[in-house]
A and B are shown apart, each in its own frame.
Chain A
């Protein structure tokens, strides 16, 4: 496949996302959320999307704004209910959005499996709970497991800290979260970064996401936002 492209704008980066796409969106709350790419996706207009993310939006920012614009048919996430998830809450309660709740570790591992070419895997998580109902079970060496299938994205929108011109990525602190896993699990991975450096300037020993997983990179200005719980 072709090398990663350095894009001129967030809008160019998401221009080809079609209606009905499955889009993986990184972030844990707002840390690591690709807000500029999500904003560009809202302007682009694609609708009927399935969004895979840890949360279902905070405040009216990023993912929450995409939900508010009614572009999302279904959310697959671990933790939709938060103090500031009122946009999702209203859509869900009025039946305007579908929800699949997935234990956070299974969510991550299902994407890891997609990226690693694993057909399905047996997880001990959720055995005996409502989230395992209807799924194939198997006892392996005396322990019960549930069969979990990969989650593959048409697109992954992720936020990293720094890229080189090849698309090798490094992250910053807990903003790494789902980015490296989602980057592997989508047909097209688009990364927004705060800085693009010349190839050769990133230490090969510390690259977290190798460029092979990254299709497009766009540099965005870092922006500040209110951190929930800050004091």
Chain B
């Protein structure tokens, strides 16, 4: 059944970060993508014993560095200075990406332009000619981590849903997304199709009316 949170939502990205942080498994090795997913680190608790991976060669990444802690040699994937936690480890880039590709990372959380109902992800390039393509580690993460979560607003600025039948933007990975966290709902993407897990500030019926790819779903059946 869908959990409808009619009294809270749509969520801010910070509130959503807290929701996602709460659902990261205890003891997981996790990579948080550049941008909004970085916020999730602020809501992980010590009891979760989550170890953060950063693609530029570190496990055991701590919080953002402040003041005198800033060290130009210690940055995260977004090139922001960070701190190291006890038990941290450094390694070179080929090892860092072997951790992804080799299936050693438990979870990664990425932002997205579009996600399809079959878990295709588009998050690296708008496809517009005037935009410079820049993929970074997104494609390696998308196909490498055991679970790929997406964190995004459900609706684009023009009001169209970013959860789509088929992505129109260039793909990052095929069938790689397993869960989509948005400001108004959380979706599971499985081999048997899309399921709504939870809504925020909107009922299931209204959500279904606003999102084309949900039109066939009935709340009681999933």
Contacts and interface: CB of A to CB of B under 8 A. Distances in A.
Interface core residue of B55, B57, B131 (most chain A CB under 10 Å) = B57
B104 interface: no
Contacts of A198: none
Contacts of B130: 93
Contact of B56 (A28, A106, A127): A28
Interface stretch (B14-22, B156-164, B168-176, B203-211): B168-176
B102 to A, nearest CB: 10
B132 A78 contact: no
A154 B74 CA distance: 29
Contacts of A128: 120, 171, 173-174
B137 A103 contact: yes
A56 B62 CA distance: 27
Interface string A218-231: 00000011011111
Interface string B86-120: 00001111101110110000000000000000001
Interface in A104-145: 104-109, 111-112, 123-131
B135 A78 contact: yes
B188 interface: no
A94 B174 CA distance: 33
A99 B218 CA distance: 48
A229 B79 contact: yes
Contacts of A17: none
B132 A80 contact: yes
A212 interface: no
A90 to B, nearest CB: 11
A70 interface: no
B90 A79 contact: no
B71 A79 contact: no
A113 B138 CA distance: 21
A81 B132 contact: yes
Nearest to B91: A176
B94 to A, nearest CB: 4
A118 to B, nearest CB: 12
Interface string A164-206: 0000000111111111110000000000000000000000000
Interface core residue of A79, A112, A225 (most chain B CB under 10 Å) = A79
A216 B134 CA distance: 32
B66 A29 contact: no
Interface of B is mostly: loop
B174 A231 contact: no
B90 A103 contact: no
A162 to B, nearest CB: 12
Interface residues on B, range: 35 or more
Interface in B152-205: 170-174
Interface string A16-42: 000000000000111110000000000
A227 B133 contact: no
Contact of B92 (A78, A89, A176, A231): A176
A201 B92 CA distance: 23
B101 to A, nearest CB: 6
A180 B135 contact: no
B58 interface: yes
Contacts of A78: 134-137
B171 to A, nearest CB: 5
Given A93-B130, A127-B143, A229-B78, A30 B72 contact: yes
Given A28-B56, A173-B71, A230-B70, A101 B135 contact: yes
A32 B71 CA distance: 12
B101 A28 contact: no
Given A79-B134, A79-B136, 10 more contacts: A28-B75, A81-B132, A103-B138, A103-B139, A123-B101, A124-B101, A129-B174, A175-B72, A177-B92, A177-B93
23 contacts: A31-B72, A78-B134, A79-B135, A81-B131, A103-B138, A104-B97, A104-B135, A108-B92, A124-B101, A125-B143, A125-B144, A129-B171, A130-B170, A131-B135, A174-B56, A174-B57, A174-B73, A174-B75, A176-B57, A177-B56, A180-B94, A224-B72, A229-B79
